[in-house]
Structure 1
Amino acid sequence: MASYRQRGKSKLWDYRIFDKKGKVIATNSGFKTKREAMNEAQEKERKLFQSNYTARFDSKVTLFDLWKDWYDLMILPSEKAESTKEGYRFRGKMIEKLFSDIPAVQITHKEYQIRLNEYGEKVTKEYVGRLNADIRTVVKFSKRSGIVMNDFTDGVKIFGLAGRDIEDKYIHSISNYKDLLSHLRSKFNYRESVMPYLLYFLFKTGFRVGEGMAVCWSDIDFENRTIKTYRRFSGDKQVFTLPKTKTSIREIPVDDKLLQVLKDLKEEQSMVLYDRKDLNKEDLVFYDRRYRIPTNAGLNKYLRVCLSELGIGSQEMSATSGRHTYGSYLLSQGVDIWVVAKLMGHKDIQQLIRTYGHVLQEVIDKEYDTIRDLMVE
């Protein structure tokens, strides 16, 4: 791993490269910009890694060993969110569990397929696919580093248990969607709970749950009717985290009714949080005097109670269904798919098509009637 410093009166940059034990193994200085120092350091790291890697690579090195080198060099120093890195580490542990008994050079395509199939008997196809994607990247990385080995991932087939259907993750009809919003408004009482306010906000903005929790009053532009998001909040851990991706940093338009709800909430907070300076230093919008920011589990439980009271939805739904419903609703109303992708924080429309490409029930019925009319002779 490399570190960079700007030193001296001339403000020139230098770099130092450390091994896994923290010992400096390479250094240089005199660079005018940090980018110049980084370019040389990264090339030096690559050469050092390749020489050391090739020298120690033998018949005993496991796939997990290769994964660990790839993770330490390519993922750990990256700007990926900690939650994303945690996902990589989880899959790394699974690689260690599944392949620790066999050297990487002895893994054949058949053996790899057998082990993936066995893993797929316990988890969903989506999890198997993610694991295979990481392993495929590790194999390619190792081969680029000079390791002679077969790509046993080539042509592999992904099998696994069926995951939860997207149909269980959103409000299916526009009327039910509006009924839920009305029901949440009827529960507005800041002195009792901030949860209905937060859920209403999520269903009206498409924000991820953590994004909604992290909204501050300064993020709301009441004059221009927009709200921005640039970070997340973990309700369970009560800490701020980085945005999921760079495209997650965005500003979305909101309607007057939501803005009025927020204005009323702010006024109510000013009366209840009389010691606001100590209680709410972050100026958070969805802050509860007794419980601070809601937990994900608490928010999910509250939503399911509301759905049960209305007799709609599925007990599988979570607060994230607000995001799914928002995306579905915009698409159903004819909002351009690229605009929806931007509002949802996606870099392109592919994720949108895979996840939110369905439409709501009223729209399906309407289109069916249109088709019937078109086919009349």
Structure 2
Amino acid sequence: MPSIRKHGHGYQVRYYYYDANGQEHEKTKSGFRTKSAAKLFASQLEIDIHNGLDLVPKDPKFADYFDYFYHTYKEPKIENQTKNRYKITSRVLHNYFGDVTLKSIDRPQYQAFINFYGHSHAKDTVYKVNSLIRATVQNAILDDLIHKDFTQRVSLIYDKSRDKHVEYLNVAEIKRLIAYLENHLNYHFTSTFMILTAVLTGARLGEIQALTWNDVNFNFKTISITKSWNSSEGGGFKDTKTAGSNRIIAVNDELLKSLKILKDHNNGELIFVNQYKSIPSSSAVNKKLRSILKDLGIKKQGFHFHSLRHSHVAYLLSRGIDIYIISKRLGHADVSTTTKIYSYLMDEYKAKNDQQIREELDNLSSHDETIPIKRNL
């Protein structure tokens, strides 16, 4: 799939293909004065490819096919963070598999790779690498290059010592943070408002940056999440992380009162525009958050803006909110995503719930002396 990008005073079309020896090549064509002209060329290129240009050899090197899949199907539409993950995974595959071809790999060989890689990497890293590779293999099946998914039902091995626990604030710390924020709100500096919004909604930073006044319903006490902020390209709206991320969040009166302060001094579309007519960046809000935690004497190593989302979840779990409701509030695709990310948090509250279950079962077992007990004689 050709990609189009701004190049100088015009536009450039770029695409990747493989020769008969399985070697990857990149081709570009520049000089298009308009984006429409570039799109027209790209469309014709796709037709030419469809009509006979063979981009993939019959049995490519596995690592080469991974690169082809990334450049053709993923690169044009993914964010920089995910692109870096593909590039790192590509280096790993080239180093480990070398000239090994796609068709020659079976489940035992792939399991051996996972064993090797997982020995020195954390669980989350192994899961992400495996998901990228599995998508590549499934695409190869669609291309009729192989017929079996050799990544299916492998055991994901990882180094447990490298796993990082989700950092979050406890209930007392959350209350102290909220009290501090509400006492230091200044409409000139909107980072404080963004931090408060994150604590009380669990929304992602990009979702908060992109909020407009049309997203806030003061009557129904809700905030609609329908877009995200494109920080990597200098601002502007983009789609949310997934389709499931589009959601409506119930919010409390105190948050709405705080946002009303901004509304009274803001005639623009975006909620969190500061006195410099810009949206605070990730580094700006994180710098402010670290400063506030220092003032409060709260020491949390590695705590950052996204940790406020984790703190929101921890609080809801502590109050007995159902995990399905939490999952919908967070905008996860399904409950399994939530339980995977917050598994150890849920384990912490499981002990508390287990004790409550025992007490409730004891209530069932306790005999009420007013109820006669029949015995068989």
**TM-score surpassing 0.5?**
yes
The reply on whether 1:90 has 2:91 as its aligned counterpart is no
Deviations 1:335-373 (A, max 9, x none): 333222222112221112222353598996686477479
- Taking a change above 3 Å as real, the CA distance of residues 159 and 364 of structure 1, as seen in their structure-2 partners, is closer
- Residue 317 of structure 2 corresponds to which residue in structure 1? 331
Gap runs ≥5 in structure 2:
4-14, 18-26, 28-41, 367-377
- Residue 38 of structure 1 corresponds to which residue in structure 2? none
SS of equivalent to 1:210: helix
- Residue 264 of structure 1 corresponds to which residue in structure 2? 261
- Residues matched between the structures, number: 326
| 1:202 aligned to which of 198, 201, 205 | 198
- Two-structure CA RMSD over aligned residues (Å): 3.8
The letter of the residue matching 1:305 is S
Q: What TM-score do the two structures reach when normalised by structure 1?
A: 0.71
Quote how far apart the aligned CAs of 1:85 are: 5.3
The reply on whether 1:223 has 2:219 as its aligned counterpart is yes
- Residue 177 of structure 1 corresponds to which residue in structure 2? 174
Task: Within 5 Å, give how 1:1-377 maps onto structure 2.
Answer: 1=1, 22=42, 24=44, 52=54, 56-58=57-59, 61-75=60-74, 81-82=78-79, 86=83, 89-99=86-96, 101-104=98-101, 105-107=103-105, 112-148=110-146, 152-153=150-151, 156-162=154-160, 163-166=162-165, 168-172=166-170, 174-191=171-188, 193-235=189-231, 238-240=234-236, 241-267=238-264, 269-270=265-266, 283-290=269-276, 292-312=278-298, 314-356=300-342, 358=345, 368=355, 371=358
Quote how far apart the aligned CAs of 1:295 are: 2.0
SS of equivalent to 1:169: coil
The letter of the residue matching 1:185 is E
Q: Which moved more, 1:198-207 or 1:221-230?
A: 221-230
Structure-2 separation of matches of 1:355 and 1:223: 33
The letter of the residue matching 1:223 is N
- Taking a change above 3 Å as real, the CA distance of residues 318 and 71 of structure 1, as seen in their structure-2 partners, is same
Q: Which moved more, 1:151-160 or 1:217-226?
A: 151-160
The letter of the residue matching 2:340 is R
SS of equivalent to 1:75: helix
Structure-2 separation of matches of 1:181 and 1:218: 25
The letter of the residue matching 1:66 is Y
- Residue 8 of structure 2 corresponds to which residue in structure 1? none
Deviations 1:110-156 (A, max 9, x none): 65445444433553222122212222332333244332587554554
The letter of the residue matching 1:194 is T
Structure-1 separation of matches of 2:349 and 2:173: 11
- Taking a change above 3 Å as real, the CA distance of residues 224 and 23 of structure 1, as seen in their structure-2 partners, is closer
The letter of the residue matching 2:64 is D
Quote how far apart the aligned CAs of 1:186 are: 2.0
- Structure of higher RCO (CA pairs closer than 8 Å, 6+ residues apart): 1
- Taking a change above 3 Å as real, the CA distance of residues 81 and 69 of structure 1, as seen in their structure-2 partners, is closer
CA contact (8 A) 1:67 1:92 kept: no
Identity of aligned residues (%): 26
Structure-2 separation of matches of 1:295 and 1:155: 41
- Taking a change above 3 Å as real, the CA distance of residues 331 and 189 of structure 1, as seen in their structure-2 partners, is same
Deviations 1:242-269 (A, max 9, x none): 21001111111111111111111222x3
Structure-2 separation of matches of 1:326 and 1:300: 17
Q: What TM-score do the two structures reach when normalised by structure 2?
A: 0.71
Deviations 1:190-239 (A, max 9, x none): 33x32211100110111101111111122211122111121112456532
